[in-house]
Homo-oligomer: A and B are copies of this chain.
């Protein structure tokens, strides 16, 4: 009659860590991964910043943004080329730039030297994307697409694994283990907002889960990135949530930065412009220093 636990719940036990997540699990209380990507260290004192537009809209846009964010201290340029909408049609303003976008990212990298992070959605484009990207991003929709995880892992490239907006910490770590089991240890976890009952604005679909940062760090040695732009979906909340992410222990910050946010091809409510990015870098650095870290 009573409710007994005969099946695993949402928790992660010591036994689980040993048998299900052995590579993701911390080996000791102070075990924390630290690795270098394109000369930028993840998991150390530095909190790398990945900045750029949601979408690689044009060559001019991405080169201009690469220059601007690099000049203002960003460590990586972010931008999506393969980025389908949640329905199979183009919107009025929005068209995936795909192979063309990847080529433009390459130009941006050549002209500025800034390393690149961009998303892989399909096995067939891994080589094309890995040729320019320094970090391969797995998006929320593919968090549990294990064949894709296995395939990107095999490139040996660093992988940033976005948490699904409905996923538990347990499921997220299990997905990361699929990458590590292939011998690829450069995995970065990325929190980007979860679906909840109340998001405070109908245009904000997610709530940034900062509690998952200490929760993840309790069990895994992998660095954890926070993406306040996508999570909040609302420009005025990006700064406070970026600062809060750093104070909560985030190891890197991903931000949407666009030369003209209101005319962004997608998600015009969340990107910040170059000037706001500059100010945010300064305020992030102050909070980082308060927790004995730095963004510069």
A residues lining the B interface (CB < 8 Å): 1-14, 16-17, 19-21, 25-26, 28-29, 84-89, 121-123, 141-147, 164-171, 173-175, 177-178, 181, 194-205, 207-216, 218-219, 231-233, 236-237, 240-241, 243-249, 267-269, 283, 286-287, 289-291
A170, A174, A194, A198: most-surrounded residue (chain B CB, <10 A): A198
Q: A87-B177, A243-B248, A246-B247 are in contact. List 16 more A-B contacts (CB 8 A).
A: A1-B17, A2-B17, A3-B12, A5-B202, A9-B205, A84-B146, A85-B174, A88-B178, A89-B181, A121-B147, A123-B123, A200-B215, A211-B241, A214-B241, A240-B247, A286-B291
Determine the chain B residues whose CB is within 8 A of the CB of A286 once the complex forms: 290-291
Known: A86-B174, A290-B289. A201 touches B11 (CB 8 A): yes
Residues of B within 8 A of A181 (CB): 88-89
Question: Within the complex, which residue of B9, B210, B215, B248 is in contact with A202, where a contact is CB–CB below 8 Å?
Answer: B9
Chain B residue at minimum C-beta to C-beta distance from A89: B20
B244, A11: Cβ atoms closer than 8 Å: no
Tell me the dominant secondary structure on chain A's binding face: loop
A69 to B262, CA, bound (A): 48
Distance of A223 from chain B, by nearest CB (Å)? 15
Contact A1 B29 (CB under 8 A): yes
Residues of B within 8 A of A205 (CB): 9-10
